[in-house]
Amino acid sequence: MSDCIFCKIVAGEIPSEKIYEDDKIIVIKDVNPGAPVHVLIIPKEHTDNILHAPSELLLYIQDKLEEIVKKLGVYEDGFRIVINTGVDGGQSVNHLHFHVLGGKTLGWPPC
């Protein structure tokens, strides 16, 4: 989508700090981190949110997760995956993305 910031990041039109990339996803550092480790797993193909995501894509991301969290150094101590969805869910970018947060003991509830 031409006006989507994450599509522009995927296309290399907006710079990002890439942690991982393959033909289906990129993983970048969140520009406004909410924890010592805060990255975004972003599918390259535009999908508005998790409700519209193909299940094969979700399985693919789940399969990649162990490799990604090992790379981030949060495999042992744990991490949190957040998928904000819609207005009440606090989604500010309408391109599906998984927040991966960690590097400290996170509080709960998140609001």
Please identify every residue annotated as catalytic: 97
Judged on CB neighbours under 10 Å (0-12, 13-18, 19+), 110 is exposed
C-beta closer to ligand AMP: residue 42 or 74: 42
CA dihedral 86, 91, 92, 98 (to 10 degrees): -140
The yes or no reply on residue 1 touching ligand AMP (CB under 6 A) is: no
The region, left, alpha or beta by phi > 0 then psi within -120 to 50, assigned to residue 3 is: alpha
The yes or no reply on residue 53 touching ligand AMP (CB under 6 A) is: no
Residue among 48, 75, 91, 103 that touches ligand AMP (CB under 6 A): 91
C-beta closer to ligand AMP: residue 15 or 76: 15
Q: How far is the CB of 54 from ligand AMP (least distance, A)?
A: 20
Residue among 73, 78, 90, 110 that touches ligand AMP (CB under 6 A): 90
Among 61, 68, 60, smallest CA distance to 28 is for 68
Binding stretches for ligand AMP (CB under 6 A): 5, 14, 16, 28, 30-32, 40, 84, 90-93
